[in-house]
Amino acid sequence: MTTSELSLFKAAFLQSWNAIVITDADASQGYGVVFANPAFCTMTGYSFEELRGRPLKMLQGPDTDPMVIADLRTCLQQERYFEGTTYNYRKDGSSYVVHWNISPVRDENGKLTHFVSVQQDISEFVRVARDNQLLARALDATSDPVVVTDAHAHITFVNSAFSRVTGYPVTEVMGKTPAMLRSGQHDEAFYANLRKTLTAGKDFRATFINRRRDGSIYHAEQSISPVMDEKGRITHFVSVTKDISDRVEKEQGLIHDASHDTLTDLYNRRFGEQVLSSSFRQARALGGVISLILCDIDHFKQVNDRFGHPTGDRVIVNVAKALRHTVRGRDAVIRWGGEEFLVLLDDCPAEPGQQLAERMRARVEALQDEEVGRITLSLGLATLAADDTLEQLIERADTALYAAKQAGRNRVSVAP
């Protein structure tokens, strides 16, 4: 080997980022240190003078893995390659995690003369790995669903709560996108706002209506946050969700109870008046037309007097069902009084309104109560006129209803 080559090897040894130490091959003396580069001295806290001739057993301590050391001794005795990881201790007593390998060095005759070891302090890597494991365990232990995606919205992590709430096992969602949870109850503008907000590096918070694996719907308060690297580039998104289905169901139940009649499940009068007012304002603003049908069960007082109130309630319920099943989907049926109903026909002129009223009359007439027998209905129809107030429109329908009763009941009367 030339002088220049020796100089190169020396420079490489001394300047190597990895810690390198060379020991002799004398097992009886514990394989004393022959050379150690500056990186090794920095890692251990010992100067080369303090290391020279001493066995590296001096770096072992309470947390050094005895099984790793036993494997090391076997490899040295058998003059073969070794690789391992354990705790070592610096001169100041502090510990560090070292990953190292040892190779036997032989002379030109094949005789073992030394061992060379290349080592790395991987304490920081181990700490980060343990922190990540702790974080993963913590996220998995939380009761709220957590989802982590990459920058392209592909799922890289979900916790157990996610599987419990959505019904999707972890193995089934990895690599997919949260779009699999879409219920179809949000419009595209909702998702466009989500993408715009996250792309701008801002948090997005909203109540999502999602779909579980079994097809059922659930409501979730969801917060999605972008995660950025040191250069400000988005690398991941983290979503934390709270299932609020029970709360939403209770709220919807309260809203339903406040707006619907207990007996018939039709709109009650108080909420019905709000629906009427809103429809009237819209018709006036847009030049639309609405019709009202005010109807009353014929001779209902006699039903109550003869058969009792439970039978009367049953008749009211059956008439309510008949009305609801006859009107169009956009129409509103309101229980206006005891046996009186008001039907709001949206975007409906007089002629089709009269036809619909007649179908309602016929459907009720076809009802046969087990005690009462035939049930009939009188109906008054009024269509919004140019100078009508809402009160006048209702009054005109009421006048038409009175006219139907006066004309013999079980008929439709149309207000002029």
CB 117 within 8 A of CB 97: no
Residue type, 204: F
Residue range(s) occupied by CATH 3.30.450.20 in the chain: 3-121, 127-248
Q: Which fold has domain 260-414?
A: Alpha-Beta Plaits (3.30.70)
Q: At CA 205, angle to CA 202 and CA 206, rounded to 5?
A: 145
Reported as a single tens digit per residue, the pLDDT across 73-97 is: 999 999 999 999 999 999 999 999 9
- Nearest to residue 18, comparing CAs of 147, 136, 134, 122? 122
Residue with tokens 């920095």: 42
Domain with CATH 3.30.70.270 in the chain: 260-414
Closest CA to 265 of 320, 309, 310, 313: 320
Instruction: Give the neighbor-by-neighbor strand order of the sheet with 332-335.
Output: 332-335, 340-346, 290-297, 377-383, 412-414
Which letter does DSSP use for residue 27 in this model? G
Q: Rounded to an integer, what distance in angstroms lies between the CA atom of residue 106 and that of residue 95?
A: 32
Angle at 324 between CA 322 and CA 328, to 5 degrees: 125
Instruction: Using alpha carbons, select from 259, 268, 271, 276 the residue that is nearest to residue 397.
Output: 276
DSSP 357-397: HHHHHHHHHT-EETTTEE--EEEEEEE--TT--HHHHHHHH
HSE-up of residue 253 (Cα within 13 Å, Cβ side): 6
For residues 201 and 232, what is the distance between their CA atoms, to the nearest angstrom?
9
CA distance 266 to 275: 12
Cα–Cα dist 278/29, whole Å: 98
d(CA 270, CA 401): 21
CB-CB contact of 400 with 407 (8 Å): no
The angle subtended at Cα 79 by Cα 77 and Cα 80, nearest 5°, is 115
Q: Which residues of the chain have pLDDT under 70?
A: 1, 138
At a CB cut-off of 8 Å and minimum separation 6, what does 332 contact? 267, 272, 275, 279, 343, 344, 346
- Angle, CA of 40, 44 and 45, to the nearest 5°: 110
Question: What are the tens digits of pLDDT across the range 353-393?
Answer: 999 999 999 999 998 888 889 999 999 999 999 889 999 99
Strands 412-414 and 377-383: parallel
- Contact (CB, 8 A) for 210 and 224: no
Q: Which fold has domain 3-121?
A: Beta-Lactamase (3.30.450)
Q: What are phi and psi of 20, to 5 degrees?
A: -125, 130
Catalytically active residues, by annotation: 339
Cβ–Cβ under 8 Å, residues 245 and 311: no
Identify the pLDDT of residue 12: 73
Residue 26 φ/ψ, nearest 5 degrees: -85, 100
Scored b (16 or more CB within 10 A) or e, 108-134 reads eeeeeebbbbbbbbbbeeeeeeeeeee
Q: Token digits for 97?
A: 């995690």
What residue type is 301 in one-letter code? K
Determine the topology of domain 127-248 in CATH.
Beta-Lactamase (3.30.450)
Cβ atoms within 10 Å of 379's Cβ, excluding its own = 28
Query: Do β-strands 33-36 and 82-89 pair in parallel, antiparallel, or remain unpaired?
Result: unpaired
203 neighbors 223 (Cβ within 8 angstroms): yes
How many whole angstroms separate alpha carbon 22 and alpha carbon 245? 67
